[in-house]
Amino acid sequence: DRSVSRGLGDVYKRQEKQHATYKSKEEHLMIKTFKQLVALISEINSEDDRSYTLGEIDRSFEREKISWSDHEMLYQLACKVAA
């Protein structure tokens, strides 16, 4: 009995570690996407560039690569950049 409980505890610990790793990978991808979008915003030189960038921001949110608050902040920033 005792060894079974102990084994289950080890399984739960491993699952927690795997979940923590998954979260950090997910966060890493979100940060990478955010940085890529900021780079796109910095390259806006025309209204076509702005439209493309806004579309990329929307697609990134739809694919759950950025949060809603990041979407809104990036959108506002892209709209303020002079073309």
- Distance CA(19)–CA(23), nearest Å, equals 6
- Distance CA(10)–CA(13), nearest Å, equals 5
Band of residue 1 on the pLDDT scale cut at 50, 70, 90: very low
Total-model pTM: 0.72
Give pLDDT, residue 82.
86
* pLDDT tens sequence across 6-55: 555 565 566 566 556 667 888 889 999 999 999 999 999 999 999 999 99
Which H/E stretch holds residue 32? helix 2-42
Structure tokens at 79: 């709209």
